[in-house]
Amino acid sequence: MSSDDVSHDSSATLAGSDEQSKVNSSRRYFLIGATSAVAGVGVVGAAVPFLSYWSPSAKARAMGAPVKIDFSKLKPGELMSPIVAWRGKPIFVVYRTPDSISALENQSQDLADPDSENPEQQPDFAKNPTRSMRPEIGIYVGICTHLGCSPKYVESEVFAESDSQGGFFCPCHGSTFDLAGRVATGVPAPDNLPVPPYRFESDTSVVIGEEGAA
């Protein structure tokens, strides 16, 4: 075999090796790219359930949304029924009589917090004897501040004084509240019934969960 033939064969071998190397490199880059793409899809796929988990559901959003209550059929001396829920909590809407309002304005003895000194229990507009924006309409979260039971509405009962015009009684452990949601002394409940933020939309409708002028 001549030296030219040997040289030709060597060149062919080197050319073949270069082509094979290019093929292997292309295949390697393709595999790396494909693997990265699959991994990226996997990360996105895993992130979607994760993000969905942290996204609040429609039910959760609805529980925190304001609630409109129409009390046009409510009469003096009555508690609105059925009871409307806001944020999963019952809301008491009571229509007080003139005698009840007068009793609340004059009643301060035997009450643990008659002047509503705890700012966490009511908005600023409810820091008054009736703990309300309008004296005749009382709006309270219907959950006893002792262990979270739901008190019962009593139209006429002696809670603090002989001229008491009724209020709320918790049958679980005997806590009592007047018609302004103020807790009596010497009962298990430590605080008054909370007053939720609200605003009157009209004379006979109120929005729970928002504050402002009517």
DSSP character for 96? -
Query: Which residue among 17, 108, 173, 186 is the active-site one?
Result: 173
Residue with tokens 């909590």: 89
CB 150 within 8 A of CB 90: yes
CA terminus-to-terminus distance, the chain: 109
146 is catalytic: no
CB 184 within 8 A of CB 174: no
CA atoms within 13 A on the CB side of 129: 13
Geometric angle at alpha carbon 173, from 169 and 174, rounded to 5°? 40
What are the start-end ranges of the H helices in 55-162? 58-64, 98-106
Give me the active site residues, please.
Answer: 173
